[in-house]
A and B are shown apart, each in its own frame.
Chain A
């Protein structure tokens, strides 16, 4: 029961704060561009509005379109509960490998749903997303497995703080590339556009509306928060023995900081051409490989 409370509570808290992180990033980006920008709590309003709206879907769709938002959301909710933020033993839901593959699970189903409406936009998003995935997953794997090799276990509790050394700095850069790409941000993708030349993630969501879209947005923000939590867990974990309040407050502070970095990256760089992405991922891979090499020398 206690385990359920710890795990479920953590997933719930991360779910609750994830729109806020998104709001902070948006606000920071707007300020950096000398705009006033939407309110920080705007994402909550968006979700509530979408949840009330009627959902419309194409006549070409089948049960896949209906179940995918649920599966997508559940996958990230579980991923959110896997990283032991509080350092206490929760439910045994997974380790680093399961974590990576939960992303694959969510992606697989969303890419299928994107193909359902028969519109070319969905197909475009789906096909590009799977291409990008094939570039991201190896980098993600090298970065995380480098940490695993260093600590000798795939358990998240053991890996906590494994990046606090010289090689960790390199791995951090590699994981940052992964985070930017996975969250669909500039330079890999542009979250603010609905232009067919650039869209990837938004292309897949194009045919969704109402509560289904709300669920998918919430899941995507949760995914962004999880990736940031992962960075915190590997590089800046809370001190052992701190109280729960301290842990969650400091976590929130660190997430805000990383969110600001993301906003800064987004304001300083330009969107890359899709086929320049392999170069970006290759640089990420080289950082991670260098960190692995340093560990082993």
Chain B
């Protein structure tokens, strides 16, 4: 297997409802990534694009073919990935496989979504399509409801008083907002830096016990990365970011995960694959962009990834151990909660952040000092699809 590097990254600003089409958004991100790689569209051998709900957002299916043509990548294979919120990470992982195999030397992977454009009603309905349509949706399950139920289950399982847990979750939100407020690409750039525990707990209730500020926003946006073989990467850039470990796992509906919840077993399996392949342990990871679609999701993810003991992640956030300068820097981009969550693009956005962090190219206030090893964690549905990747400096 060949070594594979990220040689260029691109991203739109993540935002609320806006007027650019998905093809246009992806075009901006992909062209930025291709230009940063010192390449031309004709150099790209294939495209791998995450897009979960384009059919509902614009009435546009088969978006990948139009997106490829739009940026001047003519007559090359273009594949679409649908794994709910993990779509783009699936795309990046498959793109890695194709380059590692030696079949292609240069590919583009990424994703795009206009979830915010749908509005809350349709977005809530379509996101619920990632729960079980036959055995869960009839009861009216929504994505906030899934994580609300996991919150109570977490409190009950680890015997943490609900009020204490909610305050710890608010600390997660506050940290995410602080980092996102100084990330120009973040949906909440310039906003929410003064958030307090009281404001989080006092905002309107979406699904008990989750309030608005426990939840990520609906977002529009796109992100893309260029992957190249080691041989090609060395010619293109002095700072190749190597993908050294990958993992992916699937699981059935939430109710079928009963032996493990609130742990997400697919994440444990996926991340262990990535650690083993990279020859790394959680202690080696300097920063992680993890899937914080809800504040409780950060705690659950950080534990399954091995950064903190089960039931103890909330304590870690309170002590600053999950912040820059702590044990592990979690979501210095602001994460899904503050950078935003254009679901089919989110995983590529995480890779964008890790590459920029390892190169030392982000704003001073959220740069992880001397970051050498980064990790992404992307969750699709309620544990149905998990993808983890580990990235390391190639210089």
- Answer yes or no: do A and B interact: no
B interface residues, Cβ below 8 angstroms from A? none
